[in-house]
Structure 1
Amino acid sequence: MHRPPTAEAEVAGELTAVRPGLVPRYAAELPGARAAVLTRLWRALAHEPLPWVTSRTTGPDGLTLRLTDGRRLHGPRPDPYATAAYVTEVRLDRTAYDHPARLMTDLGVPHGADFAAELGHSVASLALSRAGAPAHSTRWPERDWEWEQRVVDGHPFHPGCRSRPGFSVAEQLAYGPEHGPLVRLGLLPVPVGECLVTGAWPDELREGERLLVPVHPWQAEHVLKRTCETGLDAHPLMSLRTLAQPGGPHVKTALSARLTSSVRDISGYSVALSATLSAFAQTLAGRLDGLLHVARTLGAATADSPDLAAVLRESPQACVTPGSGERVVPVAALATTALPDSPTWLAGFARLALTVGLRLLDLGVALEAHGQNLLVVLSPSGVPLRLVYRDLADIRVSPARLARHGIPVPELTGRIVTDDETALRRKLFGSLVAGALAGTAGSAAALRGALETAVRDLPRTPDLVALLEQPLPTKALTLMRLSPGTPGDQWTELPNPLR
């Protein structure tokens, strides 16, 4: 075992200065946070195509990895769909490691030092998130942002699940949704002639011949180096940079910080396509018999910079029938919620999600349907009724599939457009099955049981056959962090839970 990395001590020091009463809880949460991140890292080491792992051997006492330098790394049998922190220690030759950052440092692989720093920050920030999050009652929340605040641990499978580089402890407490803050967004005036605007930019965000662009306070201070004289209050959602105005739309802001794998700015490409994509998605959702609502993009603007842009999006609350007692819940929050009979409920939810996802894929659209983008409308008794999808920026659209169904092809360009079947299936299966459904199920056994029931009555399309018979694709999240010179997504394959 090893002494705690610097990140934990740094957070403890800052916490002592800004919230001393939270220090004991933070210290108590550190062992669990180390195990949570180590479990995510072990999943990656066990399944991703890492160039310095030459072989993997499973035995009765666990999994052994042989490295290119002859060393051996040993740990428990991996469950690629587990969300519980079951890995508390692994051994590199004869040395035991209970901390992912120390392990990554001593592996000594290319780019491992930078990734080790991220893992250290992920552990420290996760412990801080768990320490500062309020206890949740069993009562279902009334407001959309309250559901989002329940997602304390971040991405269920990414080792950098809580890495927030560039954020001080005070800023994490002030802006992290799990801490329940109210955030004051700045409104930065920009001449209309300097902006690209799509959709309808509201009058209340205009000032004569200037647009008032919502700016996250972290972005204003650290990136734009600007102060804003006016602002609006909003509640942060689980993506951190998207916030909900009470009674109003959601505001997606540019946040030029790396959270998990990506820098969260907003490209001009996304702004330019937002209105076209939104209108197209509404049309396509109309073919799904009321099973899917797509949150509309109301307006988007950029001041010719990915660092200064914003998107206004309809709240998913708009699809809830008033007075019905329905709740719209982000899928990532389902694991925090008391649900009816779990196996039966999970199978019903999986059937609904696969029905929508596969029908859309057959029509020509692959959703990025992970637990943050995908929401489910629940009846007062908890029955899954229909789905809501938000954030169209990273879907994939197949002109060939659309044409096959006689659907007019929208005027789209760039990375969103592809007819590659592998790319389309990876997008949907990796986000929906290996992401949203696996994260809700929490284990390979639970996921297998739900899928076995869910797929029985689905139309046996080529896409469903691929889902049933081929390994399950998922993003190689750790390989991507260890490959800074390789742009775009990289992929790996997980054991098919149905085989």
Structure 2
Amino acid sequence: MEPVDLNAAADAYAATPLLNCLLREAAEPQGAGVHRLRGSGRMLRVHGSRRPVHPELGTPDGWRPLSHTELVTLTSDELRRYTGLPNDELPAEIADSRAALAALLAARATATPPADPYVLSEQSLVMGHPHHPAPKARGGAPAASWLPYAPEAHARFPLVFLGLREDQTREEGGEAAAEAVDALAGALDGPRPPAGYRLLPAHPWQLELVGSRPQIREAFADGRLLLLGPGRLPAWPTASVRTLYVPDPAVDRFVKFSLDVRITNDVRRLWRHDLLALRRADAAVEAGFAALRRTGSPAAWLADRGYRTARFAFEELAVLVRDGLRAHVTPGATPLLAAALAEAAPGSPPARTTDPAAWWRAYLRQVVPPVLELFARHGVVLEAHLQNTLVAVDAAGTPVQALFRDAEGVKLLPETERGAAWQRLVYCLVVNHLTEIAGALAAHHPDISSFLWPAVRAEFLRYDTTRGLPEIAELLDAPSLPGKTNLLLRWIRADGADARYLPLPNPLRG
């Protein structure tokens, strides 16, 4: 076997999402892989559509291949012309993402993948978000500081346990949430706090990032906070980087931490306003899924049960506990991250199915109705994008259940204007999610391409016929769908929670 050129591989992985953004947000297709860039009018040619590679710039002497560095320079110049705004931050972030990819690929070459297919799916996203300009950026820090905690490098590591004085503890979620936090030390063979203190688990990278801040350093000095030490058994980082999975049967929980690092569009901190709204949002979603179960639906919600943190470092030291898998997954089924299915690696369910049409219908039947039902009957907007959705498959690889997560991203009506809420639902479910799974399926089974979107349309119509939702008719007749502008959002330095959309051709239109 010939050795892999890691630099070339890193360039390719980094170029694809950047090209997807540039072509979607700042170019116009001309046919045959050629696109006219709106800022300058220059022509750019790429190979491939869903995962474009090998960019070439049109010149008087023909097509000139662009290196990754030249592609970043071209993108920056185009966005300056197109928006009229400068930005020195984003090119550095794109370069950081590419450097991170090189480090991840080198680490993966010698790492031992997890045996659990679910954990493996969470740790398989080498390229990352296919429509973000810098999906693997890690804050510009050297790889040695974050690589030990990277899911893409098949990392696993122990939590660090702190003792937090009881009068300095802030928590919400009741006894069940408190017991789930306290049980982590037992499950991971960790130290226990002394009398008068509560257990506060911490992500080791989180402590490295914020441990020297004055309010935390002072709390260690005066005894409000104790460093108890690491556990002896590991937890597994999932695709979000800051959420870890503890599969031990005694706990079976996900734990989510603050990380003061920008990953894609946001600094991944557990923000105070989100934590304070958490239980209300989660309760609304739980009620919706309980109603779904009464109708016989297997769909499940991985509830965010509560949080614990320090009063003097509310966001920096917060830990959130989320339901694990065992109590929710259909017996005998194997849960997999939807984002991993979108990459359709050889041997994955969409790649190996012998009946792709039946597989796609089964996928739609599990994923689409719960999202529509929660919106129509309970005023809940799930962020059903690829990283918030798990799909459980049976022994043959056929989807038999969808599981959803992340109350932090949930929107509730009527606090959220209905039109904006529906737009967010359509973007997450259709543009971000179904478009990618459909593309992955077609990549392995080209003959099914003409069937994919009529099947999605039929699933929406089936729901509308049986349950009724006024927005569906408009969606199926609309000329366009909302596409999120991640490149432009980062270029104009928009707030991480902001979302702006541009129209994309609607494949659902009859």
Q: Same fold (TM over 0.5)?
A: yes
Match of 1:168 among 124, 127, 142: 142
What displacement does 1:344 show? 3.0
Q: Which structure carries more helix by proportion?
A: 2
Tell me, in whole angstroms, the C-alpha distance in 2 between the residues paired with 1:244 and 1:61.
42
Tell me, in whole angstroms, the C-alpha distance in 2 between the residues paired with 1:102 and 1:484.
18
What displacement does 1:310 show? 0.8
Structure 1 residue 267 and structure 2 residue 233: aligned? Answer: no
What is the CA deviation profile of residues 242-265 of structure 1, one whole-angstrom value per residue up to 9, with x for unaligned ones? Answer: 111231211101101001111000
Structure 1 residue 103 and structure 2 residue 112: aligned? Answer: no
Match of 1:58 among 30, 33, 38: 30
Structure 1 residue 148 and structure 2 residue 122: aligned? Answer: yes
Contact 1:38 1:98 in 2 (8 A): no
Contact 1:30 1:124 in 2 (8 A): no
Tell me, in whole angstroms, the C-alpha distance in 2 between the residues paired with 1:348 and 1:231.
44
Contact 2:281 2:412 in 1 (8 A): no
What displacement does 1:59 show? 4.0
Shift in alpha-carbon separation, 1:361–1:59, aligned structure 2, 3 A: same
Tell me, in whole angstroms, the C-alpha distance in 2 between the residues paired with 1:448 and 1:188.
56
What is the CA deviation profile of residues 132-168 of structure 1, one whole-angstrom value per residue up to 9, with x for unaligned ones? Answer: 326999x995364232122222212222121112442
Shift in alpha-carbon separation, 1:278–1:209, aligned structure 2, 3 A: farther
Query: Which secondary structure does the structure 2 equivalent of 1:318 belong to?
Result: coil
139-148 vs 452-461, which moves further: 139-148
What is the CA deviation profile of residues 5-35 of structure 1, one whole-angstrom value per residue up to 9, with x for unaligned ones? Answer: xxxxxxxxxxxxxxxxxxx75xx13323323
Tell me how large the CA RMSD over aligned residues is: 2.9
Contact 2:237 2:244 in 1 (8 A): yes
What displacement does 1:438 show? 2.1
Structure 1 residue 40 and structure 2 residue 41: aligned? Answer: no
Aligned match of 1:228: 227
Tell me, in whole angstroms, the C-alpha distance in 2 between the residues paired with 1:253 and 1:182.
15
Match of 1:276 among 280, 287, 304: 280
Tell me, in whole angstroms, the C-alpha distance in 1 between the residues paired with 2:33 and 2:336.
40
Shift in alpha-carbon separation, 1:108–1:483, aligned structure 2, 3 A: closer
Give 1:317's aligned amino acid. Answer: R
Query: Which secondary structure does the structure 2 equivalent of 1:317 belong to?
Result: coil
Contact 1:285 1:292 in 2 (8 A): yes
Contact 1:42 1:78 in 2 (8 A): no
What is the CA deviation profile of residues 171-223 of structure 1, one whole-angstrom value per residue up to 9, with x for unaligned ones? Answer: 34311112222222222222333333111312446733333222221221122
Aligned residues between the structures: 442
Query: Which secondary structure does the structure 2 equivalent of 1:459 belong to?
Result: helix
Match of 1:397 among 412, 421, 436: 412
Tell me, in whole angstroms, the C-alpha distance in 1 between the residues paired with 2:31 and 2:396.
44
Match of 1:252 among 244, 252, 256: 256
Query: Which secondary structure does the structure 2 equivalent of 1:435 belong to?
Result: helix
Shift in alpha-carbon separation, 1:211–1:104, aligned structure 2, 3 A: farther
Query: Which secondary structure does the structure 2 equivalent of 1:212 belong to?
Result: strand
Shift in alpha-carbon separation, 1:447–1:468, aligned structure 2, 3 A: farther
What displacement does 1:480 show? 1.0
Contact 1:186 1:229 in 2 (8 A): yes
Gaps of 5+ in 2: 186-191, 218-225, 443-447
Give 1:492's aligned amino acid. Answer: L
Aligned match of 1:361: 375
What displacement does 1:494 show? 1.7
What displacement does 1:57 show? 5.5
User: Equivalences for 1:375-454 in 2 at 5 Å?
Assistant: 375-399=390-414, 417-418=415-416, 420-442=417-439, 449-454=451-456
Structure 1 residue 352 and structure 2 residue 326: aligned? Answer: no
Aligned match of 1:480: 489
Gaps of 5+ in 1: 1-23, 400-416
Tell me, in whole angstroms, the C-alpha distance in 2 between the residues paired with 1:78 and 1:422.
35
Shift in alpha-carbon separation, 1:76–1:146, aligned structure 2, 3 A: closer
